[in-house]
Structure 1
Amino acid sequence: MENWKDYCSEENFLGIGSTRKVYRAGDKVIKVHLHPIGYEQSMQEKLIYQVMERLGYQSFFAQMMEVYEEYAVQAFASPLALKDFQTYDLSNEDQRLTSEHLKLIELLDCEFDSFDLKDSGNFGMDDNGRLIFIDYGMTKKRYEQEWVPEADAGLIPQIYFEACQSCGIEKELRIYGEHDQDRRCVECGKC
C-alpha cells in the first residue's frame, strides 16, 4: 500500500485507541501506530492470525495482512456500535458470542496471554453479520509492564467517560496523565 497515507483522512476515520488510529481503505483498514506498543500489538495480531489459520479458526479473526513500522493493514469488519458513546464488555449471555468464540477467548488467554478479550471495541461484524475479533494483540504482560507505566507518565492516553468540554456529550475521552486538563473528545479535536 504505497499510498496508505491517502486513506488516513477524516472521512475514512473509524476509531482511535491509546496506541493506534484506524482508517478504512475499502475492504481493508489501516492501523496507524501512534506508539511502539501499537506496532507490537499489530505484530502479535499477525502471529495470532497465522496460528488461527493453521488451526482452522481464521474466520473468527480479521486477517492481519501486513505490518510495517508505521502502520498495519487488516481486513475490514464493521465495528460494533457504541452504547452511550462508549465500548462495553460482552457478557457470556450475549447471543453474538457463540461457544466457539468462548473457546477462542480461553485459548487466546491461555496460549497468548491476551488481554481485554470481551471489550466490544475489540470485535467487529463480518459480511455475514458474524462477530469476529478485530483488535486482539494486547497481552497482559505488555499491558502491565509497558502500557500502564506509559499511561501513568502521560505518554499514552487512558480512556475516561466524561462530558466533553466542547460538545457537552458524555463519552469516552482520551486523557494523558493526571495533569491533562483538555477534556475534549476526538470528534471535537483531541488526538
Structure 2
Amino acid sequence: MLKQIIQNWKQYCSDDNFVGIGSTRKVYRVLDYVIKVHLHPIGYKQSLNELKVYSSMADKGLDSLLAQTYYVDEFISVQTYYRPLELKDNQSYEIKVVEHQHLIPDLFEEVLEILDKKFDCFDLKDSSNYGLNNDGKLVFTDYGMTKSLYDKEWVPFAEKGIIPQIHFDFCKVCGIEKELRMYGDNDKDKRCYNCGKE
C-alpha cells in the first residue's frame, strides 16, 4: 500500500482526506498514513529533517514517540497517521508535563531534550505538533522545523507575506474566533481555511 500511495499520491489528496494545513505543508490521510504535501521549499526541508531525526531516534530505540517518516521527495513526505489533539477554543495550546500528565508517555522528557539539544527542533510544545497513539499518549508528528530554519528562512518569508503566520481572530465569513492564516502585516483577508482562504 505504501508504494501505491507514493506513486499515486495526487489521487489521495482530496478534500475528503484533508487533515490539516500549516504554513509550509498540507496534510491528507490515507488509511494508516498521512501524505504531507510541500507548499513551500521550507516544507521539503522540514520533511527531510523528520526523516533524519526519525532514523537517528530509531537507532537509539526511541522511535515509538515519533511518527515514522517512510518517504520524502521534493513534493511529499509520507508518515504514519496519528489522531490529532483537539483544539481548545479553536486554537492549539502548549503541552505542559504536569497539566497533561495523562497524555505523557514514558521517555517523553528524554526525547524532548534530544530533539531540542541535538536536532535544534523548534516549537516542540505546541499541541498541533502531536498526535495520539492507541494508548492515548502523545506522539510527535511534526518535528522537522529547526530553530535555525525558522530564524533564517521561515521568519523572512513570513514577514514578506510569502508564507502565512497563524493569527487568532474572527473569521469574517463564519464569524468564529479561530486560528487564521495571515500573509504579512498588510493581509486584510480574515477568512479561515474552511471559508475559502488557504
Residue 73 of structure 2 is aligned with which of 68, 72, 96? Answer: 68
Q: State the number of aligned residues.
A: 191
- Show structure 1 runs of 5+ residues with no match: none
RMSD between aligned alpha carbons?
Answer: 0.9
Report matched runs for 1:17-56 at 5 Å. Answer: 17-56=22-61
**Aligned counterpart, 2:144:** 137
Separation in 1, partners of 2:183, 2:13: 23
* Counterpart code for 1:73: V
Which shifted more, 147-156 or 97-106?
97-106
> Kindly, what percent of the aligned residue pairs are identical?
54
After superposing on structure 2, the runs of 4+ consecutive aligned residues of structure 1 that deviate more than 4 Å are none
Cα distance in 1 between the residues matched to 2:113 and 2:131: 19
SS at 1:62 equivalent: coil
Corresponding residue for residue 3 of structure 2: none
* Aligned twin of 1:188: 195
2:104 matched to 1:97? yes
Whether the 8 Å contact between 2:104 and 2:137 is mirrored in structure 1 is no
Relative to the length of structure 2, the TM-score reads 0.94
Q: Which amino acid aligns with 1:21?
A: K
* TM-score of the aligned structures, taking structure 1 as reference length: 0.98
Q: Tell me, what secondary structure is at the counterpart of 2:19?
A: strand
User: Counterpart of 2:107 in 1: which secondary structure?
Assistant: helix
Shift of residue 32, structure 1, vs aligned partner: 0.3
